[in-house]
């Protein structure tokens, strides 16, 4: 009985760690998906788009701006 309980506990920890690993790596968009989303945002009609689409597009546009507008390094004397 003690071995069975130990086995169940080990299996529960293993499945929890595998689940956490999968969850942490499952949400990233590929570059192709980002390009499709960006094109969909450019083609979007603001009057017909739903709130989720507008929010996603706004988030993507805000992520693009900091990269493009990096502050210039000060001139060395």
Q: Is residue 3 domain-resident?
A: no
Alpha carbons 31 and 59: distance in angstroms, whole number: 16
Q: Is residue 5 domain-resident?
A: no
Q: Is residue 1 domain-resident?
A: no
Alpha carbons 71 and 13: distance in angstroms, whole number: 47
Structurally, how many domains does the chain consist of? 1
Q: Is residue 48 domain-resident?
A: yes
Q: Is residue 55 domain-resident?
A: yes
Has this prediction a pTM greater than 0.75? no
Alpha carbons 58 and 54: distance in angstroms, whole number: 6
Q: Is residue 73 domain-resident?
A: no
Alpha carbons 25 and 48: distance in angstroms, whole number: 33
**Arithmetic mean of pLDDT, 7-18:** 87
Alpha carbons 20 and 10: distance in angstroms, whole number: 15
Whole domain around residue 48: which residue ranges? 30-67
- pLDDT higher than 90, residue 6: yes
Q: How is residue 57 written in tokens?
A: 């597009």
Residue 34 pLDDT level (bands cut at 50, 70, 90): confident
């Amino acid at each position: 009985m003690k071995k069975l309980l130990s086995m169940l506990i080990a299996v529960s920890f293993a499945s929890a760690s595998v689940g956490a690993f999968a969850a942490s790596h499952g949400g990233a968009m590929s570059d192709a998906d980002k390009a499709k989303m960006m094109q969909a945002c450019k083609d979007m009609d603001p009057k017909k788009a739903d709130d989720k689409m507008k929010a996603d597009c706004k988030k993507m546009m805000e992520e693009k701006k900091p990269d493009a507008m990096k502050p210039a390094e000060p001139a060395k004397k």
